[in-house]
Chain A
Amino acid sequence: MAIEVRMVSLSPTMELGTINRWLKKEGDKVSAGDTLAEVETDKATMPLETFDGGVLLKIIAPEGSKNKVGELLGVIGKEGEDISAILAKGGAATPAAAAVPAKAAPTAAASVAASSAAVAAAPAQAAFDHGARVKATPLAKKIAKERGIDLHQVAPSGPGGRVIARDVPATAPTAAALAAPVPVGTGVGEDIPLSGLRQTIAKRLLQSKQTIPHFYLYSEVSMDRAVAFRDELNASVEEGGVKISFNDLVIKVSAAALAKHPEVNAAFNQTSIRRHGEINIAVAVATEAGLYTPVLRNVDKMSLKQINGGVKQLAGKARDKKLTVAELSGSGFTISNLGMFGVDHFFAIINPPEAAILAVGAIQNKPVVNAAGQVVAGKTMGITLSCDHRVIDGAVGAKFLQTLKDLLEHPAKLLL
């Protein structure tokens, strides 16, 4: 019995996978665990492994082809076996193949399972699994098109998973402008094709801004003690040791604040609000290819040294495009720091399905009014919390920010 090799979902947000390279060719013997091909997903390059042995009878998806999850890529079977029935059936995804990543690389399958157990694998962007084709009424399709909304992201309320007009969320008026086609061919210019990463950034952040009601809380934090605290830690570091960064400190403080305010470490889940069981923080890493948000896990249990090491390792992997799905999923909160570029403060877009993101600005020398009412030289840092109002009300966000500010202004409290 020949076995269909189909594109499997190698990340929670993956819809398409590009076959970068086949590592086996037609006629090759393969055994369980062999890597058949390298697949570029929306976030990383992953091995496509097989659980089944036999002969790779047919390669259907050529190198460079983009394939939807569930699409037929090739066929494994016995030498000389008749596979015409499978080929005739073509790309029709079998529900089993689409739903169960049985033939996925074991590590990928395991990590997907682990991350879904940990944080309910990205509920906001995949509230309903439509499979390859979304069933929607013509009106719902028309409205979604007008509003620039991807129907795959819409949870249906009609019979049999049908998306009807009322399911399509309303959107900000700017959506139409954003969705409007860019005029092509004016003046001298260059069209740069979208990479998988660029497409993911475009899609998810547009979705975030369109579907998540953001509000922003800004606070100026006195950093005098934090600067002294860090200087003290780093002064004692011997040659070649670890130097703690302000970002490490912000991550540490955020983990402590999330532990105190579990309502912020949450996700909107259409019919419920998911409170995460772990404190996993994504750190925005800018690379030449684009923005990655690798995830530090159980940050509340990590020392500053461990945080420092973890961030360095993830940032390095991001630059080398070596991040795994596990390292890219399962976060409940994101920190984006543009302080190193001298930015005073800024307002970040929530990284779905999270409910909040912290935007961190630069530490600046500023005249400040001290407790005695005198104007003195001080060090300040602007931090802005962007919140999903469906999950976090103003007062809740404010209390969280207050905790952050208090811990940054009194870092010794981290020892408590």
Chain B
Amino acid sequence: MALIEYREALGQAIAEEMERDDRVFLMGEEVAEYNGAYKVSKGLLAKFGPKRVIDTPISECGFTGIGVGAAMHGLKPIVEMMTWNFALVGAIDQIISNAAKTLYMSGGQFKCPMVIRGAGGAGGKLASQHSQSFEALFTHIPGLKVAMPATGADAKGLLKTAIRDEDPIIFIESEALYGKKFEVPDGEHLVPFGVADVVKEGSDVTIIAHSRIRHTAAAAIERIESELGISCELIDPRTLRPFDIETVAKSVAKTNRCVVVEEGWHWCGVGAQIAESVYTYCFDDLDAPVVRVAGLDVPMPYNPKLEAAVLPSIDRIIAAVKKVTYK
């Protein structure tokens, strides 16, 4: 166990998997010579050479398509989106039309085992076009799996599982967490997909939060428990597809109340789907409607005060918990 940055945990996962399996390679903008825009791939070029750590032109559509082809031919590409905002430049067509559909449309003849990874969410004063949460968009697509680690250990464990998986994986890292330090297991550490993490046990309210907003929820819970005496259970689903409804349902059966928190926009956000699943599986257990806390439905403002107002805050989470407990 070592206290290392989130980005370093990701780099460890890539390095370990490249050592383990020589079919694994990394490509993307600035991943090689520059050691990655966020330094996730630091040292990889020196270690694995330019055949396996490849700088690409600024052409997301092109290099994502190369990744799809390589995967179909038996390699295991890791394609880096410098940020997920750039996936809009054509990569989204390769991901949705090709990566997600290959297995189905070839009648099972071709797999597409690739990881498309990069920074998501707001980073802080990056304005509307570079502060977006696209997990709802990708989780919507059958054929894709979506992972969103909130800690260094999960970043490493989920990425190693993603690289070994036989399906296309959308791996959304948190731009705001790259520089945060976490205790990360040394060497082999795998976190399975579809298994939520019960971060903290509690008895009165189930709070579901993923990626960096999970830490906002944890901070809110500290205040809720000390100031209001309401015991909260915090669950991080870690992967949004597959989604571990079993762990959530078990928790809601105990607490009878549920708050879903996410950074992305409210309307049609992943929280809407999670709430629907809670209603389906926990209907008779609920003593209050599920309350969602999400990003406000506006383009992200550049002004930091307005940005803070748009993102789910500790106060908004506390208000949601009060609402479901009728306080």
A interface list, Cβ under 8 A from B: 137-142, 157-159, 164-165
Contact = CB atoms under 8 A, between A and B. Distances in A.
6 contacts: A139-B287, A141-B284, A142-B285, A164-B287, A164-B288, A165-B256
Contacts of A140: 287
Contacts of A139: 256, 284-287
A137 B326 contact: no
Contacts of B326: 157-159, 164
A13 B283 CA distance: 32
A398 B256 CA distance: 44
Q: Report the 4 A-B pairs with minimum CB-CB distance, sorted nearest first.
A: A139-B287, A165-B287, A137-B287, A138-B284
Interface string B191-232: 000000000000000000000000000000000000000000
Interface of B: 256, 283-288, 326
Contacts of B284: 138-139, 141-142
Nearest to A141: B284
Nearest to B323: A159
A138 B280 CA distance: 12
A249 B4 CA distance: 90
| Majority SS at the chain B contact face | loop
Given A139-B285, A141-B284, A164-B287, 11 more contacts: A137-B286, A137-B288, A139-B256, A139-B284, A139-B286, A139-B287, A142-B284, A157-B326, A158-B288, A159-B326, A165-B256
**Residue from the set A141, A157, A159, A165 with the largest chain B CB neighbour count within 10 Å:** A165
B53 to A, nearest CB: 54
Contacts of A142: 284-285
A344 B315 CA distance: 66
A141 B256 CA distance: 13
Nearest to B286: A138
Contacts of B287: 137-140, 164-165
Contacts of A159: 326
A144 to B, nearest CB: 12
Contact of B283 (A138, A157, A164): A138
A157 to B, nearest CB: 7
A137 B258 CA distance: 13
A137 B285 CA distance: 9
**Residue from the set A142, A157, A159 with the largest chain B CB neighbour count within 10 Å:** A142
A62 to B, nearest CB: 36
Contacts of B256: 139, 165
A164 B324 CA distance: 11
Nearest to B256: A139
A159 B291 CA distance: 14
A43 B15 CA distance: 83
A156 to B, nearest CB: 10
B324 to A, nearest CB: 10
Contacts of A137: 286-288
A164 B285 CA distance: 11
A366 to B, nearest CB: 57
Contacts of A158: 288, 326
Contacts of A164: 287-288, 326
Contacts of A157: 326
Nearest to B288: A137
Contacts of A165: 256, 287
Nearest to B283: A138
A155 to B, nearest CB: 14
Nearest to A157: B326
